[in-house]
A and B are shown apart, each in its own frame.
Chain A
């Protein structure tokens, strides 16, 4: 049985905001299956009592003082924008 079907691949692409060509959908179904099959090896291990790694170092919450600091200038923030108008990022219509 394959771990991931063609339909699931298309659903995952939708979640990931990717359009797949026919060729990509076929190729990724095959490749994701072989990688997931490979990852299935992890099931050989009993991890019922093993805590998941959340951080490799003993680091706790990092806090800083709540001080007002200068922010990025609007002109700089917009400098790389593909499209902008009146000091704002411009995007295609959100609603119909």
Chain B
């Protein structure tokens, strides 16, 4: 059994008994990376020196018998759009190839306080725009289950690294499915928290009304531990919610008796691969056998979610990226004769195709004369989508369906066809538009050998319930224990 297949509690027991040190854990992480990274290419940067020093520091703390943090000693990978002090943060963009932040994202301070060890920064689609990690400004990441396939995106590096056993857990960010979809493609657990539960301070903004940081882990229990660490009100983020944080770990009771599950017919209809449907139905049977009731429900505006998202997200992205001017940080184009030309050359040379496409789309949708027709219209439809969820949650505890309509697709297959690629997020996007939480857990393998993801959606700030349901399901299946051969 690999070190990273052990449960968090067992690792902590072994550390206490002196059978294991944090340095052993960190060494195991770098050894695994050395053996697998050429096949997976999950990382943009390895922070080896800092990680080894931090491991020594924690080992000394252990020897002094001090109380341990919740994630003590656990090797972590961080999506490279989360700002890390004195460690290059690129967002997988050539523009930020040399950006060395002077501060930490609030989630990094929280991970540090919980005493995990940052191993490095993980690959992603540039500025988190994309669904395959093929839009990275540096290199592709490969699906650990089959290197001809994408790992999903935009947190592709975060999902691939955990699936490959390179790190114990990782952080990703989810704007339209960017944690859950790659988690589904790579056969790991990905959680998108309620909007506002986790601080976005220091997360490089893509679409500010949709973005949320969350954990990618091998099992649901670890997901609860990481969420417990990062969920908190943060005065540095004005959209951070002031709510009491429940005990997510003790919520994992394994009991789903009497739980009411709604299955939206729109997420189980046309466009969803029959094999994916079959695995989701089998998972629902497991929950029924544990005492849950399962009924078909309707989210009537689901078909409008993707067009709504592809107006709103690019609009917010164009607005956020309008701030990038090459003056205060990043890579600046040479030889511009005046300031405007410097802006234009810097942005034109440094940004990739997908990012430019979204800036163009967003600038158009927000421009005078088109704002009402596109942006305002999309925000109105967003209200209808949110109301659909409110209606179902009056009667049901959770909503369950597939995480993605298919398993991972082949590298290069959709990269020149943005609309088709956008449809891969059809099951996840409604959740972001409504601001509610959802988790993706492995629920089997298709005949091509690739993992299928089950999505469990909850009410706002009811992470406890989706974690409880996901955990109960996991305890009665073995899919989360399968590992790719690398």
A-side residues, CB < 8 A to B, are 4, 8-9, 12-13, 15-20, 24, 28, 31-32, 34-36, 38-45, 47, 50-57, 59, 62, 64, 72, 76-77, 79-83, 89, 91-94, 96
- In the complex, the answer to whether A17 meets B347 with C-beta atoms within 8 Å is yes
Contacts A56-B434, A62-B238 given; indicate if A76 touches B102 (C-beta within 8 A).
Answer: yes
Residues of A within 8 A of B318 (CB): 16
- In the complex, the answer to whether A57 meets B195 with C-beta atoms within 8 Å is yes
Contacts A31-B418, A47-B377, A79-B100 given; indicate if A18 touches B359 (C-beta within 8 A).
Answer: yes
Enumerate the 6 nearest inter-chain pairs by beta-carbon distance, A residue then B residue, closest first.
A56-B435, A52-B379, A80-B329, A82-B332, A47-B380, A53-B382
Among the interface residues A15, A52, A53, A55, which one has the most CB atoms of the partner chain B within 10 A?
A53
Residues of B within 8 A of A89 (CB): 327-328
Complex Cα distance A53/B330, Å?
Answer: 34
Contact of B328 among A12, A24, A64, A81 (CB under 8 A): A81
- In the complex, the answer to whether A32 meets B360 with C-beta atoms within 8 Å is yes
- In the complex, the answer to whether B383 meets A53 with C-beta atoms within 8 Å is yes
Tell me which residues from 335 to 393 in chain B have a Cβ below 8 Å from any Cβ of chain A. 336-345, 347-348, 351, 356-357, 359-361, 363-364, 367, 374, 376-384, 386
Complex Cα distance A53/B390, Å?
Answer: 14
- In the complex, the answer to whether A12 meets B367 with C-beta atoms within 8 Å is yes
Residues of B within 8 A of A17 (CB): 322, 340, 343-344, 347
Contacts A39-B374, A47-B381, A52-B376 given; indicate if A28 touches B357 (C-beta within 8 A).
Answer: yes
- In the complex, the answer to whether B345 meets A42 with C-beta atoms within 8 Å is no
**B404: shortest Cβ distance to chain A, in Å?**
19
**B318: shortest Cβ distance to chain A, in Å?**
6
Sample of 7 more A-B contacts, CB < 8 Å, known A18-B348, A94-B339: A18-B356, A38-B310, A42-B381, A50-B381, A55-B209, A83-B332, A92-B336
Complex Cα distance A81/B327, Å?
Answer: 6
**A32: shortest Cβ distance to chain B, in Å?**
6
B-side residues, CB < 8 A to A, are 98-102, 195-196, 209, 235, 238-239, 241, 301, 303-304, 306-308, 310-311, 318, 322, 326-332, 336-345, 347-348, 351, 356-357, 359-361, 363-364, 367, 374, 376-384, 386, 418-419, 433-435, 460
- In the complex, the answer to whether A19 meets B344 with C-beta atoms within 8 Å is yes
What would be 17 A-B contacts, judged by CB atoms less than 8 Å apart? A16-B347, A18-B347, A18-B351, A18-B356, A31-B357, A39-B307, A39-B374, A42-B307, A42-B311, A53-B382, A53-B386, A53-B433, A57-B196, A57-B435, A80-B98, A81-B329, A82-B332
Contact of B360 among A16, A34, A82, A96 (CB under 8 A): A16
Main secondary structure of the interface of A (DSSP, over half): loop
- In the complex, the answer to whether A12 meets B360 with C-beta atoms within 8 Å is yes
Residues of B within 8 A of A47 (CB): 377, 380-381, 384
Complex Cα distance A79/B101, Å?
Answer: 9
Residues of A within 8 A of B351 (CB): 18
- In the complex, the answer to whether A12 meets B364 with C-beta atoms within 8 Å is yes
Complex Cα distance A43/B308, Å?
Answer: 11
- In the complex, the answer to whether B360 meets A19 with C-beta atoms within 8 Å is no
Residues of B within 8 A of A40 (CB): 307
Of all chain B residues, the one with the shortest Cβ separation from A80 is: B329
Residues of A within 8 A of B363 (CB): 12, 15-16
- In the complex, the answer to whether B329 meets A51 with C-beta atoms within 8 Å is no
Residues of A within 8 A of B306 (CB): 38
Complex Cα distance A96/B367, Å?
Answer: 29
Residues of A within 8 A of B360 (CB): 9, 12-13, 16, 18, 28, 32
Residues of A within 8 A of B359 (CB): 16, 18
- In the complex, the answer to whether B348 meets A52 with C-beta atoms within 8 Å is no
Residues of B within 8 A of A34 (CB): 419
- In the complex, the answer to whether A91 meets B339 with C-beta atoms within 8 Å is yes
Complex Cα distance A91/B325, Å?
Answer: 10
Complex Cα distance A75/B437, Å?
Answer: 41
**A35: shortest Cβ distance to chain B, in Å?**
6
Contact of A94 among B322, B338, B361, B367 (CB under 8 A): B338
Residues of B within 8 A of A39 (CB): 307, 310-311, 374, 378
**A93: shortest Cβ distance to chain B, in Å?**
6
Residues of A within 8 A of B434 (CB): 56
